[in-house]
Amino acid sequence: MKKRSSLIATSVLLVTSLLVGACSNNNEPASNKGNSGTANATQATENQTPEQLQLGKYDPPIELTTVRILSPSVKFVGDETIDNNVWYDEYASKLGIKLTNEWTVVGDETGGKGEQKLNVSISSGALPDIVPLNATQLRQLAEAGKLADLTEIYEKYASPITKGVLTSSGPEALESATFGGKLLAIPAPTSKIDQAQMIWIRTDWMEKLGLEAPKTMDDVYKIMDAFVNEDPDGNGKNDTYGMALNKDIYSFFGGVEGFFNGYHAYGRQDGKGNWVQKDDGTIEFGSIQPEVKTALGKLQELYKKGYIDPEFGVKDWNKEKELIVAGKIGLWFGTMPAPLILQDLKNNDPNADIQPFALVSVDNEPAKAQIPGINLKSPQYLAVSSKSSNPEALMKMINLFMEASYGTSYTQEQIDQLSTNPVDGVERWMYSIYSAEPEKNLNTHRVVKQVINGELDPSVVTSEQMGAYRSVKKAVDGEAMETIDWALNGVFGVENSSFSIVDYYDQNGLLLPSTFSQVMTDTMTKRDATLLKLELETFTKIIIGESLDSFDTFVENWKKLGGDEMTKEVNELMSGK
Amino acid sequence: MVERYTLSRKLFIVFNYTILALLSVICLLPLVHVLAVSFSSSGAAAAGYVKLWPVEFTLDSYKYVLGKEQFFLSIGMTLKRVSVGLIVNMVLTVLVAYPLSKEVQKFRGRTVYAWVFVFTMLFNGGLIPLYMTVRYTGILDTVWALVLPSAVPIFNMILLLNFFRGLPKEVEEAAFMDGAGHWTSLWKIYVPLSTPALATITLFTMVFHWNSWFDGLIFMNSPSNYPLQSYLQTIVIQQNFSSASLESIAVLQKISDRTFKSAQIFLGSLPILLVYPFLQKFFMKGIVLGSVKG
Amino acid sequence: MINQKTEPKGMNTASASSLGASRKSSSQLPLHLMILPALILILIYSYGPMLGAIIAFQDFNPALGIFRSKWSGLENFRYVMALPGTMQVIWNTLIIAVIKIVAGLIVPIIVALLLNEVRKEMFKRTVQTMVYLPHFLSWIILGGVLIDILSPTQGIVNQFLNWLGIDSIYFLGSNDWFRPVLVMSDVWKEFGFNTIVYLAALTSINPALYEAAVIDGASRWKQTINVTLPGMAPIIVLTATLALGQVLNAGFDQVFNLYSPQVYETGDIIDTFVYRIGMVDAQYGVATAVGLFKSVVSLILLSVSYFLAYRFANYRIF
């Protein structure tokens, strides 16, 4: 009967839902203890020396679980897998920690599979002992009270090297992991200054047309003029553009950040909000400042003159890059990896050469390169489940990594095995659950430079820096270079390289970090997507020709649609410092 | 049946063939382009030089994709998934389509059941509840996690249902009169007479299982268990370089993003493209009505 | 209805049905049994998770899970509705989806009909295979291809237009053209799929009907109108209805790979909108709320179509 069938169906439905409900309840015992303290530390800390605390071995060994989110570039050779490799052996032999992976996934990009897998995992109630998190997940777990309090553990167990590295770029990394005064995760800071932009120009074109290095924005426009009108690719047609731009407006390759900086405008950086401090001490959002309007006006002018690819509005950086590789564009603003990304250009045209130039300004005030207020690598944080019985173990594993990277107790051979092997190039440091490398690249450049100049002995070059060192040496010695050498030299070389520019910025105080260094406020979470959409739409339309008045309308709307709220929140948070 | 070939008929035939040929070409060209890119050097592809023929022919992209042992392992998992999934899906589709194709008088409750099934096509709770269910039923990290959640393909089932309805009733009536029950009717009559429809949904089911990649990534705990398309997703070169380390960028030495993605697409779709023509002959068979009269 | 058409006249079904009548109640059991395995599976794997849609009414925190996240009632819905641009986004989605459905119906039908007229097996099979090919290409690759083809400076489409004396059109950057491009490229990519379905439907049309039509002197064209199309009608209504049920999915992958800030106005759809919100902060509550909204709309449309088809054509879609 109709009724009977639907009755059956309904009851099965009810039963099933009860079952699902019951099962999940079993796995989430109410833990009203909140973030637990170190009460469960199995080792009495009073009787141990700092070294024992930081790197002492567990005897008997303990077992811990974790999950791994790997970058696609992780490579394994021979028998090694993510479950069984030199680092996991190291944890076992040196620290007495047996680490097991509950699951592994490849895809560590923002919004990627790693994040999603972790989200579903978290929501089904299963937390491993050690868990890699991004900022959002950290906040959610903190709110739910599921993480161990690491404040004291950090104080007692973190080695001096570890503490040094974690605070080297400033206090913001640790602060971002602190909730209600409690440190709930260890951040993985990475370079902020790597994001500084510079002007990239085809130097072979400059040479051909007799152009000099730009010292002001006007010089830059002169170069663009020449590139457009004087047939730098020598094919008899005026088919080259002055500047590259892409549809995301803000981008590490062909973005406007560097251009804006020349006008002392500091809009978003790679899509993320940038905040500037005004003379009166208040903090305001960078994209709504009047200088941005001026810069946009100039871009509009350039677009009208045909200096910018008319189709930039539909192309992402990869698509726009095609024009550069094909030799149709010779100038763009971007960050340091350009030569590595443009190896195809060199492959296609061995005579092509690109070089970065420091940002220039429109007036007497030197241009400063904007950088983010905080930058963390992936995974951004490592935290410990509040149910774990050995929360201090994480600190030891981190100390071990720091010791291998910067310490003195490992031999070069051992380090080769644990970080980047000079022979097979396999980067085993990726197997470690944690890595952090503030200003690693700038250091590489400085070390390479000093070794080549004879100020330092070649033995100080670490295996990670070896690749760059060799390429730069080839360039300096005039040896035959492959494309990868050209690229690495372009990034790390002694002069006229990405990092020589970054070094210059650093030495001369030309870096301007965003004034806001927390990761996300409440209103930002709710409104930023909309505000970003508005900003991109408006700016794109202005560049393509819409009246500059739309900028003023944009500012008004920005304020109404959450901008004022955000500004208030930011000022409140920062004034508490 | 003799058709008189009038002039208009002939014109039509010419027009028809031309249009269809043009259509086929338009459909084929982009695939040819992708194929060409996959065999081109990264430099040429990156500059946008490749149109319909490889520029600077190279097998580098394929070597990169095929060079990892994981590639072949993942094919194994996909084959497992496709075969298990195909059987489960087909059996269930047939088993559900048959009763639901009956009139309400012959099967009371059919409309309720029908709506119960269709409802699942419209509503879902999202990834998190599904993951929880998969986990609690203990099939996480097994091929069943890739098969059971999609075990009853509603769209296919509705298609088959309509087909069954279109079959002449007399055959079944005759069988009943001879004492056959529903099971016999289903397997001995309906199924054999539905070859075009069954071939169609076989194809759709295979394509679905072959192409799915997201569930593999979420429900498998280790990359060694990934089916092919999931695996291919993971070796995509990282796109977002703003926060990537130089190491990942340096991987770009030889493999350009474009050539690589093209090889990936091609390898991923090749097997289905090979199978499809074989399935086609089943589409062509019509119903043999001789069985009705006999 | 198709059943009525295929029953030859003069068959005495009276005896058959009276026999059947006495078997009715017992003979229904096998039917229930047949459905049972599938029913159990969907109860577990579709209805179970469906209950999780409750996330739409929560301030969902994955760390607290479904059972302990705070209840927020209609807050997620209010939030989305209050966001500027929501209406525009919904409107875009509807327009794009409806046009896609219509075009996506007409083209495969025509192609199926054309293919049906082809006598040479080889040609027919080849065409059938070719038109299914675009389905396998991903929008990531097709995005790049379309940018090239539609380029106002070098794309072949514009070159062709210029040759005809028409000025170049910046297709992907123009709010006037973005939607047509979406529709046409999507139809191109997916028409092969539906063509297969319609062809299968075509081959199952009773040849006797054609014979009867020929005897009556109908031309091929008349046959098409009077035999073929009616024979396909149920399947067409079916695919149309099911497509309607998807009307709020205007094609995330495609739009995501083809759109840009310039065309947000006409091209931003619900899914891309929600995606960008989720990029800032994985907001499951909001995403689920939107999904629920879409599902409810789909349900309404589907039910309406079902009852209309039943009322006016005596045809149960399922």
Mind listing the pLDDT tens digit for each residue in B196-205?
888 888 988 9
Q: Which of A6-15, A411-420, B201-210, C219-228 has the lowest mean pLDDT?
A: A6-15
Chain A residue closest in CA terms to C42 = A13
HEC-encoded secondary structure of chain B: CCCCCCHHHHHHHHHHHHHHHHHHHHHHHHHHHHHHHHCCCHHHHHCCCCCCCCCCCCCHHHHHHHCCHHHHHHHHHHHHHHHHHHHHHHHHHHHHHHHHCCCCCCCCCHHHHHHHHHHHHHCCCCHHHHHHHHHHCCCCCCCHHHHHHHCCCHHHHHHHHHHHHHCCHHHHHHHHHCCCCHHHHHHHHHHHHCHHHHHHHHHHHHHHHHHCCHHHHHHCCCHHHCCHHHHHHHCCCCCCCCCCCHHHHHHHHCCCHHHHHHHHHHHHHHHHHHHHHHHHHHHHCCCCCHHHHC
pLDDT of residue C118: 86
**Span A133-142, mean pLDDT?**
90
Cα separations (Å) of A354 from A215, A483, A497, A502, B246? 17, 13, 10, 16, 18
Q: What is the ipTM of this complex?
A: 0.83
Would you say residue A321 has pLDDT above 70?
Answer: yes
pLDDT of residue B289: 32
Q: Is residue C112 part of a domain?
A: yes
**Span A430-440, mean pLDDT?**
85
**CA B182 distance to own-chain centroid:** 30
pLDDT of residue A347: 87
Q: How confident is the model at residue A448 (pLDDT cuts 50, 70, 90)?
A: very high
Q: What is the pLDDT of residues C99-115, one digit of tens each?
A: 999 999 999 999 999 98
Q: What is the pLDDT of residues A197-244, one digit of tens each?
A: 999 999 999 999 999 999 999 999 999 999 999 988 888 888 899 999
CB contact under 8 A, C38 and B33: no
Contact C242, B155 (CB under 8 A): yes
Q: What is the mean pLDDT of chain A?
A: 86
Chain C residue closest in CA terms to B52 = C145
HEC-encoded secondary structure of B274-290: HHHHHHHHHHHCCCCCH
Q: Is residue C78 part of a domain?
A: no
Q: How confident is the model at residue A36 (pLDDT cuts 50, 70, 90)?
A: very low
Structure tokens at A300: 């509009």
d(CA A437, CA A428): 15
Would you say residue A399 has pLDDT above 60?
Answer: yes
* Cβ-nearest to C282 among A16, A119, A526: A119
Q: How confident is the model at residue A13 (pLDDT cuts 50, 70, 90)?
A: very low
Q: Is residue C184 part of a domain?
A: yes
Q: Which amino acid is at C281?
A: D
Which residues of chain B neighbour C132 with C-beta distances below 8 Å? 27, 276
**Span C74-80, mean pLDDT?**
90
pLDDT of residue C187: 94
Q: How confident is the model at residue C258 (pLDDT cuts 50, 70, 90)?
A: very high
Q: How confident is the model at residue C40 (pLDDT cuts 50, 70, 90)?
A: very high
Which residues of chain C neighbour A20 with C-beta distances below 8 Å? 48, 51
CB contact under 8 A, B117 and C38: yes
Contact A491, A339 (CB under 8 A): yes
d(CA A476, CA C204): 76
Question: What kind of fold does domain B60-294 have according to CATH?
Answer: MetI-like fold (1.10.3720)
The per-residue DSSP string of C185-254 comes to HHHHHHHHHHHHHHHHHHHTS-HHHHHHHHHTT--HHHHIIIIIHHHHHHHHHHHHHHHHTTTT---HHH
Contact A330, A201 (CB under 8 A): yes
Q: pLDDT above 70 covers what percent of chain C?
A: 92
Contact C147, A315 (CB under 8 A): yes
d(CA B29, CA C210): 37
Of A386, A383, A391, the C-alpha closest to A152 is A391
Q: What is the pLDDT of residues B80-121, one digit of tens each?
A: 999 999 999 999 999 999 999 988 888 888 889 999 999 998
Who contacts C302 (Cβ-Cβ below 8 Å, separation ≥6)?
A: B118, B122, C241, C242, C244, C245
pLDDT string in tens for chain B (294-residue length): 455 567 888 888 899 999 999 999 999 988 888 889 889 887 888 788 888 899 888 888 888 778 777 888 888 999 999 999 999 999 999 999 999 998 888 888 888 999 999 999 888 888 889 999 999 999 999 999 999 999 999 989 988 988 888 888 888 888 888 888 888 889 988 998 888 888 888 988 988 998 888 899 889 988 888 998 888 877 664 455 544 556 555 554 445 567 877 887 788 778 877 887 777 766 655 433 333 332
Q: How confident is the model at residue A449 (pLDDT cuts 50, 70, 90)?
A: very high
Helix (H) or strand (E) holding A200: strand A198-202
CB contact under 8 A, C3 and B113: no
- Confirm or reject contact between C204 and chain B (CB < 8 A): yes
First to last CA, chain A: 72
pLDDT of residue A525: 82
Q: Which amino acid is at A139?
A: R
Q: How confident is the model at residue A2 (pLDDT cuts 50, 70, 90)?
A: very low
- Confirm or reject contact between A190 and chain B (CB < 8 A): yes
pLDDT of residue B251: 54
Q: What is the CATH number of the domain that holds C141?
A: 1.10.3720.10
Of B144, A11, B101, the C-alpha closest to C47 is A11
**Span A19-28, mean pLDDT?**
39
pLDDT of residue B256: 57
- Confirm or reject contact between B68 and chain A (CB < 8 A): no
Residue carrying the six token digits 């149309």: C240
CB contact under 8 A, A123 and B132: yes
Residues spanned by the domain of C257: 85-313
pLDDT of residue A284: 94
**Span C228-245, mean pLDDT?**
83
pLDDT of residue A3: 42
Q: Is residue C213 part of a domain?
A: yes
Q: How confident is the model at residue C5 (pLDDT cuts 50, 70, 90)?
A: very low
pLDDT of residue A333: 96
CA distance B175 to chain C (A): 10
Contact B210, B229 (CB under 8 A): yes
Of B80, B96, B204, B95, the C-alpha closest to B142 is B80
Q: How confident is the model at residue A577 (pLDDT cuts 50, 70, 90)?
A: low
Q: How confident is the model at residue C9 (pLDDT cuts 50, 70, 90)?
A: very low
Residue C120's Cβ-count burial label (10 Å; 0-12, 13-18, 19+) is: exposed
CA distance B238 to chain C (A): 14
Residue of B35, B88, B159, B260 to mutate, testing the C interface (most C Cβ within 10 Å of its Cβ): B159
pLDDT of residue C211: 87
Would you say residue C302 has pLDDT above 80?
Answer: yes
**Span A264-290, mean pLDDT?**
93
